[in-house]
């Protein structure tokens, strides 16, 4: 991804209450040496960010050695977005992600999240607000278009984001109505990858290392994003890396034995923990 050192095909998804410093640090322990990927924060409200102490707010706490951090912001006001981005860049962000996929009512009431997908011109303006002030790349995470929408809507929508300066997009191919129900339509990721000139991250229904490889093969996406699967099984990073010929994480066996010792389980039961 432009402006980053990404060389590994799997990254964590931004999840409310989960994508915090503790989870990121645990997952990082399973990364092969020399591997770099994107590391998101939880969703951050651009109206609040300019006034918060990042060292005390759980959502913006970070480890001393964390790199490739990509905070995700909610917002639609130029002033708040600009102030938030400046502060996040000083904090260490290597990119800024704009949330256009969150379907919760709190976001919808303020015309944040997936509500921005209801007006492609307005959504592009929000991206332009960010790219106008950002010194780092700006990306967008979005969902599939609602049922009954013009089949070309999604592709036209993303082209507008690209023209506004988005460096890449992440598509979770479920509608807002679906939330996490049903199946993610990976074919939309493939179609989007074939339509736009910027990188595409694929998200949805990633549970195993094999899912990561299948999504890459089927969609051509530059990066695969996993959420709750990585929170439950952080060793997916190790498994994907091993499949691709990366060396195992340093001291991995020591790490696993220590964790299993605390659980009182034999090494053979590791994958069932």
Per-residue pLDDT averaged across 19-37, rounded? Answer: 95
Per-residue pLDDT averaged across 213-223, rounded? Answer: 98
183 versus 203: which is more confidently predicted? 203
Residues 151 and 170: their CA atoms lie apart, in Å, by 18
Residues 195 and 257: their CA atoms lie apart, in Å, by 47
Please state, as a whole number, how many other Cβ atoms lie within 10 Å of the Cβ of residue 269. Answer: 11
Per-residue pLDDT at 106 exceeds 70: no
- What percent of the chain is predicted at pLDDT more than 70? 82
Per-residue pLDDT averaged across 215-236, rounded? Answer: 96
- What percent of the chain is predicted at pLDDT more than 90? 70
Residues 250 and 248: their CA atoms lie apart, in Å, by 6
Per-residue pLDDT averaged across 159-177, rounded? Answer: 91
Residues 252 and 227: their CA atoms lie apart, in Å, by 22
The total number of residues written for the chain in this structure? 273
Per-residue pLDDT averaged across 133-159, rounded? Answer: 86
11 versus 147: which is more confidently predicted? 11
**pLDDT (tens digit, 9 = 90+) per residue, 48-88?**
999 999 999 999 999 999 999 999 999 889 999 999 999 99
Token representation of residue 182: 């049903």
Residues 24 and 58: their CA atoms lie apart, in Å, by 13
Is the separation of the CB atoms in 60 and 46 below 8 Å? Answer: no
Please give the pLDDT value at position 177. 66
Per-residue pLDDT at 113 exceeds 90: no
Task: Tell whether the torsion through CA atoms of 257, 261, 267 and 272 is positive or negative.
Answer: negative
Per-residue pLDDT at 221 exceeds 50: yes
Please give the pLDDT value at position 267. 44
Three-state SS at 57: coil
Write out the DSSP string of 226-243.
Answer: ESHHHHH-TTHHHHHHHH
57, 59, 62, 67: CA torsion to nearest 10 = -140
Q: How confident is the model at residue 119 (pLDDT cuts 50, 70, 90)?
A: confident
CATH of domain 10-272: 3.20.20.70
Please give the pLDDT value at position 157. 93
Per-residue pLDDT at 213 exceeds 50: yes
Three-state SS at 23: helix
Task: Tell whether the torsion through CA atoms of 239, 240, 246 and 249 is positive or negative.
Answer: negative
Q: Which residues contact 216 (CB under 8 A, 6 or more apart)?
A: 9, 202, 224
Token representation of residue 172: 């979770």
Per-residue pLDDT averaged across 145-174, rounded? Answer: 87
Query: Ramachandran region of residue 165, left (φ > 0), alpha (ψ -120 to 50) or beta?
Result: left
Residues labelled catalytic: 102
* Residue 161 CB burial class (10 angstroms; 0-12, 13-18, ≥19): buried
Per-residue pLDDT averaged across 215-228, rounded? Answer: 97
Please give the pLDDT value at position 194. 95
**pLDDT (tens digit, 9 = 90+) per residue, 187-210?**
999 999 999 999 999 999 999 999
Buried b / exposed e over 109-124, threshold 16 CB at 10 Å, is eeebbbbbbeebeebb
Please give the pLDDT value at position 231. 96
């Amino acid at each position: 991804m432009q402006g980053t050192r990404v060389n590994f095909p799997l990254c964590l998804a931004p999840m409310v209450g989960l994508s915090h410093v503790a989870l990121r640090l645990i997952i990082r322990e399973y990364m092969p040496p020399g591997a770099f990927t994107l590391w998101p924060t939880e969703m951050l409200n651009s109206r609040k960010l300019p006034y918060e102490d990042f060292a005390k707010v759980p959502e913006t706490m970070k480890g001393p050695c964390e790199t490739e951090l990509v905070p995700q912001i909610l917002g639609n006001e130029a002033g708040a977005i600009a102030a938030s981005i400046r502060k996040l860049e000083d904090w260490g962000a290597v990119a800024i992600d704009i949330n256009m996929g969150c379907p919760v009512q709190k976001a919808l009431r303020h015309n944040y999240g997936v509500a921005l997908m209801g007006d492609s011109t307005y959504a592009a303006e929000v991206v332009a607000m960010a790219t106008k002030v950002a010194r780092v790349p700006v990306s967008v995470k979005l969902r599939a278009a609602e049922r009954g929408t013009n089949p070309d809507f999604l592709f036209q929508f993303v082209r507008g984001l690209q023209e506004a300066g988005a460096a890449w997009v992440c598509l979770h191919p479920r509608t807002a109505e679906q939330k996490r129900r049903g199946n993610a339509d990976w074919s939309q990721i493939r179609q989007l990858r074939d339509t736009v000139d910027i990188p595409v991250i694929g998200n949805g229904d990633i549970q195993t290392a094999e899912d990561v490889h299948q999504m890459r093969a089927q969609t051509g996406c530059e990066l695969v994003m996993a959420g709750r699967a990585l929170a439950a099984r952080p060793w997916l990073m190790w498994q994907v890396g091993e499949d691709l010929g990366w060396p195992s994480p340093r001291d991995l066996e020591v790490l696993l034995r220590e964790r299993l010792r605390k659980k009182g389980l034999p090494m053979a039961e590791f994958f069932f923990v």
